[in-house]
A = this chain, B = another copy of it.
Amino acid sequence: MSLLTVGSVAFDAIETPFGKTDKIIGGAGTYIVISSSYFVNQQNIVAVVGDDFPKEMIEKLDERGVDLDGLQIKEGKKSFFWSGKYSNDMNSRDTLVTELNVLGEFDPVVPEAYQNCEYLMLGNLSPEVQLKVIERLKKRPKLVALDTMNFWMDIAMDDLKKALKKIDLLIINDEEARQLSGEYSLVRAAKKIREMGPKYLVIKKGEHGALLFHESQVFFAPALPLTDVFDPTGAGDTFAGGFMGYIASTEDSSFENMKRAVIIGSAMASFCVEKFGTERIENLTVEEIKDRIDEFVQLTDYDMTRAI
Contacts and interface: CB of A to CB of B under 8 A. Distances in A.
Nearest to A249: B308
A220 B300 contact: yes
A39 B225 contact: no
Contacts of A205: 208
A11 B82 CA distance: 54
Interface of A: 39, 88-89, 184-188, 205, 208-209, 211, 217-222, 225-229, 246, 256, 259-260, 262-264, 286, 289-290, 293, 296-304, 307-308
Contact of A225 (B220, B263, B302): B220
A293 B308 contact: yes
Contacts of A286: 308
A224 to B, nearest CB: 9
B185 A228 contact: yes
Nearest to A191: B227
Q: Can you tell how many copies of this chain the complex includes?
A: 2
A227 B302 contact: no
15 contacts: A187-B225, A188-B227, A188-B228, A205-B208, A208-B209, A211-B225, A217-B298, A220-B222, A256-B303, A259-B302, A260-B304, A262-B302, A264-B307, A264-B308, A293-B308
A218 B187 CA distance: 27
B263 A289 contact: no
B299 A220 contact: yes
Given A219-B299, A308-B39, A308-B290, A225 B184 contact: no
